[in-house]
Amino acid sequence: MAIDDYSTLDATALAALVRRREVTPLELVDAAIAGIERLNPEINAVITPMFDEARAAARGTLPAGPFQGVPFLLKDLGATYRGARMSFGSDLAGDYAPDYDSELVVRLKQAGLITLGKTNTPEFGIVGTTEPRRFGPTRNPWDTTRTAGGSSGGAAAAVVAGFVPMAHASDGGGSIRIPASYCGVFGLKPTRARNSSRPRADSLAGFSVEHAVTRSVRDSAALLDATAGPAVGDPYWAPPPARPFLAEVTTLPGRLRIAVSTTAQAGITLHPDCVRATQEAARLCAELGHEIVEAAPAIDDALLAEALDTVWAVGVAASVNGLARLVGKTPSADLVEPLTWALYEQGCRTTAPEYVRALGLCAALSDTVSQFFTQYDLWLSPTLANPPLPLGYAAALPGDPLAGYRRDWENCLYMSLCNMTGQPGMSVPLYWTAEGLPVGAHFMGRFGHEATLFRLAAQLEQARPWNRRRPPLHV
């Protein structure tokens, strides 16, 4: 199969070719590998190739799932694939390879997907830029001097460069939506516990979810249909959808009441392009018949920051300790990056009452946001405070390892609220700057109502198709 043909189709279209026997899974895998081998040295999206295993799977008998024979990539964080190196972006992991598949990977395999390798991620997924010390930076295919975002930066860069039509991603504070905005792909963060994380323990109080970044809205919906639902042992799960998510993509959303806000948190400046991207998304929604209202939930920024900082630091400490036990090492400053160590020490200092208070603040935020969504169907805001930033913007300063981390969270100001309250959200690539850089528009939905997001996203995709745009680095 010609690489040009392969890189322009979404996963749904590729799977249809396989079903009609117009192309074989091996031809798709070979096309994907050719693209990775050609461009990955420039963007550094794939850090653990699994090409031999992928070709063997393509030659064998694949499950007759919705994506039979379609190439796929896993993020090097979250989902575990038996026998494949999993590093969490950290030197601490060494050559650790799990001896089991996580529940999500089991379902991805059942869907017929063929995993080609693992994508780059910042150490433990902490920041919104993918520049781990162990593997080096992932570069944005639109401009290689800029970040591809994080923590699913390798995944988003791989999709927009044409390596695969969709790739696994996870989101604990914006890590699906941030790189989706920076790379100009579709990124939906599902409702809390929509996908099972079994058997991995939850170290972030339910903040983190797993799904994917995709070329098309329908791929995101169909993939979520294939993976969603509880597993045995899950402590809680999301409300079941009324019908398949894929059916929502072809359903008109009706007239939605959409709140829109471009007001940043105190002391934070929004880049004019991010404001314009939101305003243009609002105008497009109005043209499509939706009601647009200037409004935002009444969030106490100081309490949000306190809760986020506490839960995040404790989560980092738990993750470092858990990985250290797994590989038989003792945590130390030389085994992790300075930022990780600073957060690790902060997390270890946090008391149980402080942590319980943070969880209580998250519950209060959830109540505020839920009340807001009794009046509105969706909330539209900038995805990020800036267009794609230069690599290195979140680097630690001498004597202050948390300086870059603070800059990074200010840039991602709108993202973490979805994680803290469990709400679904999506970054939609509707705007490009004069310099040709993508800027996403962010929509948050009601808890459990991905259906509304998919309906609107499909409508927006039809009105302003984004898959026709190609970055300078594209296979």
Lowest mean pLDDT among 51-60, 197-206, 220-229, 457-466: 197-206
175 is catalytic: yes
Token look-up 């070979």 returns 30
Residue 224 scores a pLDDT above 80 = yes
What pLDDT is stored for residue 264 in this prediction? 74
- Residue 279 structural domain: 3-463
On whether residue 27 sits in a domain, the answer given is: yes
Task: Give Cα 223 distance to the centre of its chain.
Answer: 14
Neighbouring CB atoms inside 10 A of 137's CB total 21
The amino acid sitting at 422 is G
Sign (positive or negative) of CA dihedral 272, 278, 284, 290: negative
- Is the residue at 406 inside a domain? yes
Whether the Cβ atoms of residue 315 and residue 283 lie closer than 8 Å to each other: no
Mean pLDDT over 74-87 rounds to 97
**How far is residue 137's CA from residue 154's CA, in Å, rounded to a whole number?**
9
Q: How far apart are CA 292 and CA 381, in angstroms?
A: 12
| DSSP class of 63 | P
341 lies in some domain: yes
Q: How many CB atoms lie within 10 A of CB 13?
A: 15
Q: What is the pLDDT of residue 266?
A: 66
H helices of 207-300, in order, are 217-227, 245-249, 272-287
Assessment of whether the complete model's pTM goes beyond 0.95? yes
d(CA 122, CA 152): 8
pLDDT of amino acid 5: 87
Look at residue 432 in the predicted model and tell me its pLDDT. 98
425: in domain: yes
Among candidate residues 7, 87, 175, 197, the one labeled active-site is: 175
Helices (H) and strands (E) in the chain — how many of each?
16, 13
Specify whether 366 is catalytic.
no
140-171 per-residue burial string, b: 16 or more CB within 10 A, e: under 16:
bbbbbebbbbbbbbbbbbbbbbbbbbbbbbbb
Q: Which residue in 9, 45, 131, 13 sits closest to 408, CA to CA?
A: 131
pLDDT at 130 over 90: yes
Q: Is 469 contained in some domain?
A: no
- Indicate whether 4 pLDDT > 90: no
Count Cβ atoms within 10 A of the Cβ of residue 279 and give its class: 0-12 exposed, 13-18 middle, 19 or more buried: middle
Asked if residues 51 and 117 have their Cβ atoms less than 8 Å apart, the reply is yes
In a domain, residue 475? The reply is no
pLDDT digits (tens, 9 = 90+) for 204-218: 999 999 999 999 999
Specify the DSSP class assigned to residue 383: S
Q: How do residues 8-57 score in pLDDT, each as one tens digit?
A: 999 999 999 999 999 999 999 999 999 999 999 999 999 999 999 999 99
Q: Could you tell me if residue 159 is inside a domain?
A: yes
User: Is residue 473 one of the residues assigned to a domain?
Assistant: no
Looking up residue 216, the CATH number of its domain turns out to be 3.90.1300.10
CA–CA distances in Å: residue 112 to residues 64, 380, 426: 6, 35, 25
pLDDT at 452 over 80: yes
List phi, psi (to 5°) of 93. -75, -25
Rounded mean pLDDT of the chain? Answer: 96
The answer to which of 49-53, 237-241, 309-313, 408-412 has the lowest mean pLDDT is: 408-412
Q: Is the pLDDT of residue 396 over 90?
A: no
| Residue 329 appears among annotated catalytic residues | no
Over residues 320-353, the pLDDT tens digits come to 999 999 999 999 999 999 999 999 999 999 999 9
What is the total count of domains within the chain?
1
Exposed, middle or buried: residue 403 (CB in 10 Å: 0-12, 13-18, 19+)?
middle
Lowest average pLDDT, out of 1-5, 100-104, 117-121, 238-242, goes to: 1-5
